[in-house]
Amino acid sequence: MGWVFRTLAIVFGNTLVFWAMSRWLPGFSLLGNFGQIAVIAIIFTLLNLVVKPMLKLILGPLIIITLGLGLIIVNMLLLFILDKLSNNLSIDGVLTLLYAAIITGLSNFILHTLFKKK
């Protein structure tokens, strides 16, 4: 599998996760059709590629001290940035942000495990 296919599969998976969270997670709302949700997923994927490594470097000691639970804070920060960048996404409350960060973190872990380079 090429890197383009892996990236598209991860974007599609993130699109499905965002759509599911908008349906079943109170306080997480998305406006627009599936294509607009896909644009939000593309932005989130780009944030994962560009901003997440920098946040992990900055918050490295916290991640180590908490035995990896600090990665939830990194995901929360990414979703907060995504919320501020997108007009179609609204995350209301810290608890909703926490749940969304855990769900997206687990789903991205599964997606990256399924589509990792062999």
Three-state secondary structure call for residue 30? strand
Tokens of 27: 């306080």
Cα–chain center distance at 93? 17
Number of folded domains that form the chain = 1
For 8-55, the pLDDT digits (tens) are 999 999 999 999 999 999 999 999 888 899 999 999 999 999 999 999
Phi, psi dihedrals of residue 90, rounded to the nearest 5°: -140, 120
Name the nearest CA neighbour of 39 among 6, 14, 5: 14
Domain residues for 35? 3-114
Kindly report the pTM of this predicted structure: 0.91
Give the pLDDT confidence score for residue 1 in this predicted structure.
59
Query: 101: which DSSP letter?
Result: H
- DSSP states along 48-72: HHHHHHHHHHHTHHHHHHTTTTHHH
Give the pLDDT confidence score for residue 20 in this predicted structure.
95
For 80-111, the pLDDT digits (tens) are 999 999 999 999 999 999 999 999 999 999 99
Instruction: Give the strand pairing for 89-91 and 28-30.
Output: antiparallel
